[in-house]
Amino acid sequence: MPTALGELDLLGMHLSGYGLPGSSAVAYGIACMELEAGDSALRSFCSVQGSLAMFAIWKWGSEEQKEKWLPGLAAGTEIGCFGLTEPDSGSDPASMKTRAVRDGDGWILNGSKMWITSGSLADVAVVWAATDDGVQGFLVESGMEGFSAPEMHGKLSLRASVTSELILEDVRVPDENRLPEVQSLKGPLSCLNEARYGIVWGVVGAARSCYEAALEYAMTREQFGAPIASFQLTQEKLVEMATKVQQGYLLALQLGRLKDEERITPAQVSMGKRANARMAREVSSTARTILGGNGVTLEYPVMRHMNNLESVYTYEGTDEIHTLSVGMALTGIPAFAPPAGDR
């Protein structure tokens, strides 16, 4: 699958140089939308590969790192992952415990990451760790001594996606594997902007797929001697869903245009991720009601999308975190943590 995505130029498609496609942000967004109309896991794989792992190297890496990794990651012959979240550090990555300590011409990494998409598949993990000089990114290669990536099992969402822990026990990483251009949380958060932008578009695809399944079902399923689409209550649901999908699409398109003009802000990306993930979650839920009992089966795509969207609503910044990010942009007041005296 990864090499097929590479052949279609879908991995890191909005990045340029190093043989990368350099497409517009809008074109990248449309690709995310179509991939997620299939399954959020497919878009997730592309997001993590292109917008998180490749973008981190492209934006913050050395020339040698870019030349070494970007062509293979773009082709899908190599797989990347992005390790920020930890067991005790999700919404608040500044509290991370993974630590890198200088040791001669290299670094010793200790800690663990959790919920890492493609972790067990990856040839290279972009691991963010606290150092004496701020948060830094390290390219941890599979097979490095002390590094393992066990797969997490039992997900009821994004079942087509591999999710893993990353365990780092005295892993020695040469300094040439440290991303040299950033020493702050700005490093990982800048990558999240890219992936969140892809989600703004992606979830429109999932919502559209649910709407289309519900429309087709409503036209053909008969009760009380008539297609259920002929009932006013069903039509109201269809109209609401179609409107929401269209609004989500227009929001994504406008953000894409702003991104292509290099005018988009992180708060706008937060607003888009929050609004469209909410939209898709609502549309999938309404679509499921139209399918009646059939809606809870795998025969139709709706409940699969609905379950996937629970992850999408949570990862890349939860709904609440994006609410607070937009709230801070509007008011200038950060409300992420209770005042010191109330803790």
**Residues involved in catalysis:** 316
Position 318 contacts ligand FAD (CB under 6 A): yes
Size of the site for ligand TGC (CB under 6 A): 26
85 scored as a contact of ligand TGC (CB under 6 A): yes
Contact predicate 124/139, CB 8 Å: yes
Q: Which of 171, 177, 325, 326 binds ligand TGC (CB under 6 A)?
A: 325
* Chain center to CA of 70: 19
Among 32, 84, 213, 309, binds ligand TGC (CB under 6 A): 84
In sequence order, the 6+-apart residues with CB closer than 8 A to the CB of 282 are 244
Sign of CA dihedral 125, 56, 313, 283: negative
C-alpha to C-alpha distance for 9 and 24, rounded to whole angstroms = 13
Question: Does residue 85 interact with ligand FAD by CB under 6 A?
Answer: yes
55 binds ligand FAD (CB under 6 A): no
Q: Does 315 bind ligand FAD (CB under 6 A)?
A: yes
- Of the residues 32, 195, 203, 291, which one makes contact with ligand TGC according to CB under 6 A: 195
Phi/psi of residue 182, nearest 5 degrees: -150, 140
- Amino acid letter at 11? L
320 binds ligand FAD (CB under 6 A): yes
Least distance to ligand FAD from the beta carbon of 187, Å? 13
Q: Which of 15, 70, 116, 215 touches ligand FAD by CB under 6 A?
A: 116
Residue choice 186, 223, 243, 320 for contact with ligand TGC (CB under 6 A)? 186
Q: Give the shortest CB-71-to-ligand TGC separation in angstroms.
A: 22
Residue 306's identity, in one-letter code, is: M
**23 or 325: CB nearest ligand TGC:** 325
151-180 residues in contact with ligand FAD (CB under 6 A) are 158, 163
Do residues 92 and 103 make contact, with C-beta atoms less than 8 angstroms apart?
A: no
Report the b/e string of 270-283 with b at 16+ CB within 10 A: bbbbbbbbbbbbeb
